[in-house]
């Protein structure tokens, strides 16, 4: 019981901390939003300020020049947009006829739409009349009942007055006995109250902008001092880790803003050119290049808002294309241009550029956009990606927040061996094969086997022996790994054939780009093949079961690439039968493949039958993934634990085998010459 209570307390404290943080973020947004905007713009403007400082302009003058230049740019952009929108508003009467004609054609083309519109119009027209008639009938009925009870005739009720055009207040009955309803109108606001209401709505964004401007100036002037204070507060004595975290966050956010700015500028330029081409080819040059340039600029700026920004920027050009021209060709061409460019940028450009610059997964960006929009509104959507980058950096360098890096980070949290083993456990052999082929592009075939597939197979065998894996799934995993080995061998052979054909092609060009990138900085060196005409026969014996045979297939592939003739015995054969198949006249080297668990025990059992035959064979025992290569001790038997070590062992024994076979080969050659 005592071991459970601390865990419950820890979970409670974690949930309470999350709730407190969310409450502070929500209720303190009036201060935190300007502060977050100021930090974002400080990251964007800091490189420019540093460049001016290197010109010896001083910290304060450089900051003021950059900030006020950026402010002038924003104000100028707003003024240009306002002037252009004023021109569009003056042309709205000219667009009215085109819009009405299009809606008339739309309603004429669909009978159902026309019927629905007429029904809605009739319902709206008849609703007030029905209410008045019902109220009149109810009033007359009430008066009649009163006249009957009192014995006298009552005067007819006064006619009902129509309600005002504005949304009227609700009807209130002063008492249950009074049949007449009274409508209470609020007291009209005074002039001072109206002025105060409008000034409050106007001054609130102005005050926020002014607060952001002040924050930016002070942050840029004292950025080193602020960084030192943050390091001291957040470091907790770990100066190196904290400094590295701050540098990582600054690098990621700066790289993201730079990449986003380059993408947005290119996007705006392409949109402007596209709109201008549409204007001069279809519209006869009515809009002009200035209008297209302004639309491209608006689209570039709006694209800083994730997901909805591109379509907010495209709304004005699409609306003008729909309203300003009598036909629909311009509208559909413009829509197709925006859709095509947006698909290309969002699917082909941004995943490669922005994904690598932030280190945040795409799904995390989407979830963060929804979360920060819910918390802070449209400003939260604008700040969602930089704030998520900060959370990922915190999760990377703060052990208590490692969950954030796992949930939001882009880097795979599982190593390659675990990823493939997990896919095999889930029965997804196709995805496991795709992952293995992807790894083959990054490293040699031997490294894929040594570092990924053999450890995955060893882990499956260990789980099966411990009872963590049922028999059916164990058989499925073995079959899946066997198919993956076959697929990797075929892919490697195809790549080598392609490289060989490219090397012997008559063109005198460099074909290094055609060769797959199968070597890395830490990859083992390329192995030399056997000399031409040399034959070295290798027999691979599984020590116990099919898992050892699967590794034997890997051995056959990697040695076969160097020119060795390798055959793999069937794991269903008895140990005595496998030993008897190793005839010294046909076999030069025997490789015993043994995979944990009990690899050494099974290998020693098979070696007894080999040594009992008294043959002079070279024997190499592969204790794969075993950290104790000396577990098998026998005379003239070499042990290895990886395919790389197996290559090195063959490099040592192959020259002796070739020397021993040289006299026999010369004798055979002499006999052939004498016979001819």
Q: What is the pLDDT of residues 292-341, one digit of tens each?
A: 888 888 888 888 888 888 888 888 888 888 877 777 788 888 899 999 99
Residue ranges of the alpha helices (H) in 110-238?
111-150, 191-221, 223-235
Confidence check: pLDDT of 49 > 70: yes
Confidence check: pLDDT of 131 > 50: no
At 239-294, the pLDDT tens digits run 777 777 777 887 888 888 888 888 889 999 999 999 888 888 887 767 677 788 88
Where on the phi/psi map is residue 60: left (φ > 0), alpha (ψ -120 to 50), or beta?
Answer: alpha
Inter-residue contact 639 to 621 (CB < 8 Å): yes
Confidence of residue 669 (pLDDT cuts 50, 70, 90): low
Where on the phi/psi map is residue 427: left (φ > 0), alpha (ψ -120 to 50), or beta?
Answer: left
Strongest mean pLDDT among 42-56, 223-237, 514-528, 614-628:
42-56
Q: Report the mean per-residue pLDDT for the chain.
A: 77
Inter-residue contact 503 to 519 (CB < 8 Å): no
pLDDT of 231 reads 72
**Phi first, then psi: what are they for 418, rounded to 5°?**
-65, -35
Strongest mean pLDDT among 31-45, 341-355, 542-556, 616-630:
542-556
Least confident of 61-75, 288-302, 451-465, 550-564: 288-302
pLDDT of 517 reads 41
pLDDT of 125 reads 61
Confidence check: pLDDT of 540 > 90: yes
Tokens describing residue 399: 């052990």
| Average pLDDT of span 641-654 | 89
Confidence of residue 664 (pLDDT cuts 50, 70, 90): low
Confidence of residue 76 (pLDDT cuts 50, 70, 90): confident
| Average pLDDT of span 83-96 | 71
Where on the phi/psi map is residue 614: left (φ > 0), alpha (ψ -120 to 50), or beta?
Answer: left
Confidence of residue 122 (pLDDT cuts 50, 70, 90): low
Confidence check: pLDDT of 135 > 70: no
pLDDT of 515 reads 40
The 10 Å Cβ neighbour count of residue 85 is 12
Q: pTM to 2 decimals?
A: 0.62
pLDDT of 170 reads 60
pLDDT of 548 reads 92
Rounded Cα distance between 383 and 37, Å, is 8
Inter-residue contact 534 to 658 (CB < 8 Å): yes
pLDDT of 156 reads 46
Rounded Cα distance between 404 and 400, Å, is 9
| Average pLDDT of span 624-648 | 78
Residue ranges of the alpha helices (H) in 55-110?
59-90, 92-109
Least confident of 187-201, 535-549, 639-653: 187-201
The 10 Å Cβ neighbour count of residue 279 is 20
Say how many residues make up the chain: 676
pLDDT of 549 reads 92
User: Which residue, among 244, 230, 229, has the nearest Cα to 397 in the 3D structure?
Assistant: 244
Confidence check: pLDDT of 413 > 70: yes
Rounded Cα distance between 330 and 284, Å, is 11
Three-state secondary structure call for residue 568 = strand
The beta-carbon contacts of 181-184 under 8 Å, at least 24 apart in sequence, are none
Inter-residue contact 542 to 548 (CB < 8 Å): yes
DSSP string computed for 449-465: IIIIIHHHHHHHHHHHH
Inter-residue contact 283 to 321 (CB < 8 Å): no
Say what percent of the chain tops pLDDT 90.
Answer: 12
pLDDT of 629 reads 63
Give just the sign of the alpha carbon dihedral 549, 555, 561, 566.
negative
At 544-560, the pLDDT tens digits run 889 999 999 999 999 99
Rounded Cα distance between 577 and 121, Å, is 94
Three-state secondary structure call for residue 179 = coil
| Average pLDDT of span 485-502 | 86
């Amino acid at each position: 019981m005592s071991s459970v209570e601390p865990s419950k307390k820890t979970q409670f404290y974690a949930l309470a901390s999350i709730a407190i943080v969310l409450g502070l973020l929500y209720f303190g947004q009036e201060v935190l939003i300007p502060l977050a905007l100021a930090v974002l713009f400080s990251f964007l403007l800091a490189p420019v300020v540093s460049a001016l400082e290197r010109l010896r302009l001083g910290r304060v003058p450089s900051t003021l020049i950059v900030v006020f230049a950026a402010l002038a740019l924003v104000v100028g952009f707003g003024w240009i947009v306002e002037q252009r929108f004023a021109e569009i508003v003056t042309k709205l009467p000219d667009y009215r006829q085109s819009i009405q004609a299009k809606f008339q054609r739309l309603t004429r083309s669909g009978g159902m739409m026309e019927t629905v519109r007429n029904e809605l119009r009739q319902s709206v027209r008849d609703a007030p009349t029905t209410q008045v008639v019902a109220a009149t009938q109810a009033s007359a009925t009430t008066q009649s009942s009163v006249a009957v009870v009192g014995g006298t005739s009552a005067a007819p009720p006064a006619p009902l007055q129509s309600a005002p055009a504005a949304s009227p207040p609700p009807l209130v009955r002063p008492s249950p006995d009074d049949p007449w309803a009274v409508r209470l109108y609020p007291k009209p606001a005074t002039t001072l109250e109206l002025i105060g209401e409008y000034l409050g709505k106007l001054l609130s964004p102005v005050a926020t902008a002014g607060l952001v401007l002040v924050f930016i100036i002070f942050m840029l002037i004292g950025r080193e001092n602020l960084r030192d204070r943050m390091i001291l507060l957040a470091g907790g004595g770990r100066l190196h880790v904290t400094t590295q975290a701050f540098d990582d966050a600054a690098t990621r956010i700066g790289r993201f803003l730079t990449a986003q700015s380059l993408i947005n500028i290119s996007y705006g330029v392409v949109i402007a050119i596209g709109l201008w081409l549409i204007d001069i080819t279809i519209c006869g040059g009515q809009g002009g290049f200035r209008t297209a340039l302004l639309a491209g600029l608006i689209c570039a700026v709006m694209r800083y808002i994730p997901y909805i920004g591109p379509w907010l920027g495209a709304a004005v050009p699409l609306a003008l294309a729909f309203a300003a021209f009598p036909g629909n060709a311009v509208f559909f061409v413009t829509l197709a241009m925006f859709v095509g460019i947006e698909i290309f940028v969002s699917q082909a450009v941004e995943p490669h550029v922005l994904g690598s610059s932030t280190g945040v997964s795409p799904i995390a960006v989407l979830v963060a956009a929804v979360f920060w929009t819910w918390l802070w509104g449209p400003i939260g959507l604008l700040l969602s990606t930089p704030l998520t980058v900060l959370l990922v950096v915190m999760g990377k360098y703060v052990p208590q927040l490692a969950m954030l890096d796992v949930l939001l980070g882009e880097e795979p949290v599982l190593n390659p061996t675990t990823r493939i083993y997990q896919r095999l456990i889930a029965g997804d052999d196709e995805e496991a094969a795709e992952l293995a082929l992807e790894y083959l592009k990054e490293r040699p075939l031997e490294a894929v086997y040594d570092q990924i597939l053999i450890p995955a197979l060893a882990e499956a065998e260990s789980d099966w022996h411990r009872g963590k894996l049922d028999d059916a799934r164990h058989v499925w995993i073995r079959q899946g790994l066997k198919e993956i080995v076959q697929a990797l061998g075929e892919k490697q052979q195809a790549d080598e054939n392609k490289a060989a054909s490219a090397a012997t092609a008559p063109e005198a060009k460099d074909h290094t780009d055609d060769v797959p990138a199968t070597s890395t900085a830490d990859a083992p060196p390329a192995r030399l093949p056997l000399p031409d005409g040399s034959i070295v026969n290798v027999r691979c014996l599984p020590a116990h079961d099919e898992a050892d045979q699967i590794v034997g297939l890997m051995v056959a592939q990697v040695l076969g690439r160097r020119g060795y003739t390798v055959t793999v015995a069937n794991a269903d054969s008895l140990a005595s039968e496998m030993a008897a198949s190793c005839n010294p006249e046909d076999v030069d080297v025997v490789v015993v493949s043994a995979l944990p668990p009990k690899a050494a025990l099974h290998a020693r059992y098979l070696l007894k039958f080999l040594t009992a035959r008294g043959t002079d064979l070279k024997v190499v025992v592969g204790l794969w993934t075993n950290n104790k290569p000396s577990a098998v001790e026998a005379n003239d038997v070499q042990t290895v634990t990886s395919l790389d070590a197996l290559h090195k062992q063959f490099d040592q024994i192959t020259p002796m085998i070739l020397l021993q076979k040289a006299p026999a080969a010369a004798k055979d050659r002499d006999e052939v010459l004498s016979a001819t």
